[in-house]
Structure 1
Amino acid sequence: MPDLFDPIKLRGLTLANRIVISPMCQYSAVDGNATDWHKAHLSSLALGGAGLLCVEATAVSPEGRITPGCLGLWNDDNEAALAKVVKTVKATSSTKLAIQLGHAGRKASSAAPWDGGQLITLENGGWKPVAPSAIPHKDNEPAPQAMTADTLLRIKEEFVDAAQRAVRLGFDAIELHAAHGYLLHQFLSPIANQRTDDYGGSQENRMRFPLAVFRAVRAVLPEGMPLGVRVSATDWVDGGPSWTPEQTVAFGHKLKALGADWIDVSSGGVSPKQQIPVGPGYQVHLADMLKRDVGLPTMAVGLITTAQQAQQIVEQGQADMIALGRAALYDPRWAWHAAAELDRQVDGPPQYWRSLPSGKNRVFGDTTFGMR
């Protein structure tokens, strides 16, 4: 049976175990540039023994930021600032490093969560969001600008440019953000996409732009570099047309045919009318469905907090990898503690060898290491 601490191969990349640190927005960049916060935050997580660490949703253009404080990768300054973070993480950790590239679409120009998280209007220093259709995320908000053919082409090229910058920076993998109500998810969902051209209407048309972005990004990556996609497998909205698990399966088959290496299975985010049955592992059944029906490696995410819970999901074949978000923030050494509980091995920097779980019952390693 597969094990949480088994290696897994994604194209030309091998992860030491199945534990993934999810991309988690920090809202702490300046003009898209990474700061000392990103260096401290990611370095801490990278030392915890996970197989893969994914940098937060990184905007491919200024208008694609969720908030003014979101990380970006659209110009040389962004690239130079992020290079300092990547250099530190790679110099101090064997954990593989991915980056999630995204565009917020109609959910752009928002305040940071600790400032209320609501739309920042033009009058208050925000910017005009773009979206598949001129439909606001909330009924009381100004409508975004519907994307034209030229806008579609420009944004696709911005994804490609950001991906090429990520390759130059030395990232090991890339994930495209097609979840949580952001631009690529907006195209997929009939809640946000009411276009009447080739990019709206039918399920096939609504998948067209996200698939075009994936195809264009895959074309500029090295052959051995894996490319995955985070999806919202359901909108959790009843009473009208919405994006459903069955449509996500169809999308997954298209991604697989184009060379996707994993699907990171989340849900929701496209509508404030969503009704999500939140509870431990509440999205695991969606990852299980995608794994069985599409046949791509999947990541399960969403209130997976304990070692036994994560091990059971992998062992039973419901998902191939476990992605942790808030659990990893609460406990950056989650993988160490999981290894101790499950009587497994975990890698760590030599400077920490004396504190790594080791031996039966996993107390501590060799307390005489380095001593006379």
Structure 2
Amino acid sequence: MSMLFTPLALGPRTLQNRIVVAPMCQYSAVDGHPGAWHVMHLGHLAISGAGLLTIEATAVEPQGRISPEDLGLWSEAHAASLERVLSQVRACAATPLVIQLAHAGRKASTAKPWDGGEQLAPGRGGWVTEAPSAIPYAPGEAPPRALDEAGLARIAEAFAAAAGRADALGLAGVEVHCAHGYLLHQFLSPLANRRDDAYGGSLENRLRFPLRVVAAVRAALPENRILGVRISATDWVDGGWGLEDSLVFAGRLRALGVDSIHVSSGGLSPDQRIPVKPGYQVPFAARIRQETGLATTAVGLITDPWQAEAIVSSGQADLVALARGILYDPRWPWHAAAALGDSVVAPPQYRRCQPHGVKDLFR
């Protein structure tokens, strides 16, 4: 058996293999509610053979959406809409699902990527954004409103309430989005956080609000739910958030009862300079795993089964996540199992497709 297809105990759950479908924004919700597209999107990924499927970044309040078309979980009505989708997906697949809870902060209120992705002004479908400090993401954008204590309390409560709804939906867990330049990452990075109160300045202060949110989510989830956090290990900008900061943050997350950390990078500043190549973020996951003992998920240009196998078998990460690669090849886990001489769970309706010359691929 390859290491990639070895079961893994992740917090309270045991996953059938080490392959994770990463959260991928679909920009296809209506007022935060999922629809037919989400049934199709999640349904075909749920029969991919991956060990875990992550539902896209889901806003905990309306102004936390990246775009007006983002998925939301800020009300019981949204939970009911998602339940209708989940019931159809679960009727066809037993893959455990988790949901990524998010707030976009100053990167909210934008058009869909295929509509240009520019910031939308109030009156043009957008809204006034909020952030740690009144610093826009990019030149020419309207500055966000700096959050006061009432706003911080509101957002922390919104994360906790959304986590409670995720639990009630029977999801396997929650991933808190602290990456890619969205709100919680904005608090972490000195490039976006210029506050002079208890939430800004020193590293300890900049950690304070993200840790407050994670603690609130942990308290809202029972022990039988996975709690993960996604981080950007570095801003890729001089003077910004970096790996040494991420190591401190990861240690604090583990102390709060976080089960795993999903290690990405970038997204905080348009000035970033990323040396993109296959596996370019894996060393970050490896260092965090080594120094904190947290289970880590590596992501970023992991496309080859042997590459994924090497990452987990060498102990650089516990899991590998695919995003665009699994959209391009939704049966990637099947093909990886065939390449590595292993097996994967597949629906009985599809088992007759096993290629000639491949033995015992499906179970």
What TM bracket, shorter-length normalisation? over 0.9
Q: Does the Cα contact within 8 Å between 1:105 and 1:131 map onto a contact in 2? A: yes
Matched residue SS, 1:223 = coil
- In the alignment, which residue of structure 2 is the partner of 1:211? 211
Matched residue SS, 1:100 = strand
Distance 1:81 1:330 in 2: 27
| 1:60-71 alignment, distance < 5 Å | 60-71=60-71
Q: Does the Cα contact within 8 Å between 2:161 and 2:220 map onto a contact in 1? A: no
- Give the drift of 1:349: 1.5
- Taking only aligned residues, the RMSD between alpha carbons, in angstroms, comes to 1.6
Q: Does the Cα contact within 8 Å between 1:2 and 1:317 map onto a contact in 2? A: no
- Give the drift of 1:84: 1.2
- Give the drift of 1:69: 0.4
Distance 2:128 2:312 in 1: 43
TM-score by length of 2: 0.97
- Give the drift of 1:190: 0.4
> Structure 1 residue 231 and structure 2 residue 231: aligned?
yes
How many pairs align?
Answer: 363
Identical amino acids, percent of aligned pairs? 57
- Give the drift of 1:118: 1.0
User: Structure 1 residues 141, 95: closer, same or farther in 2, change over 3 A?
Assistant: same
- In the alignment, which residue of structure 2 is the partner of 1:276? 274
- Give the drift of 1:201: 0.3
Gaps in structure 2 of 5+ consecutive residues: none
Q: Does the Cα contact within 8 Å between 1:345 and 1:357 map onto a contact in 2? A: no
Amino acid at match of 1:275: R
Q: Does the Cα contact within 8 Å between 2:2 and 2:342 map onto a contact in 1? A: no
- In the alignment, which residue of structure 2 is the partner of 1:313? 311
| 1:134-283 alignment, distance < 5 Å | 134-238=134-238, 241-283=239-281
TM-score by length of 1: 0.95
- Give the drift of 1:355: 2.5
> Structure 1 residue 285 and structure 2 residue 283: aligned?
yes
Tell me whether 80-89 or 185-194 shows the greater mean CA deviation: 80-89
Amino acid at match of 1:311: E
Q: Does the Cα contact within 8 Å between 2:306 and 2:340 map onto a contact in 1? A: yes
Amino acid at match of 1:178: C
Gaps in structure 1 of 5+ consecutive residues: 367-372
- Give the drift of 1:365: 6.3
- Give the drift of 1:357: 6.7
Q: Does the Cα contact within 8 Å between 2:68 and 2:125 map onto a contact in 1? A: no
Residue 358 of structure 2: which of 340, 355, 362 is its match?
A: 362
Amino acid at match of 1:16: Q
User: Structure 1 residues 363, 245: closer, same or farther in 2, change over 3 A?
Assistant: same
| 1:108-123 alignment, distance < 5 Å | 108-123=108-123
Distance 1:38 1:125 in 2: 23
- In the alignment, which residue of structure 1 is the partner of 2:340? 342
Could you report, residue by residue, the CA deviation over 1:212-232 in whole angstroms, capped at 9, with x for unpaired residues?
Answer: 000011011111211000000
- Give the drift of 1:362: 2.0
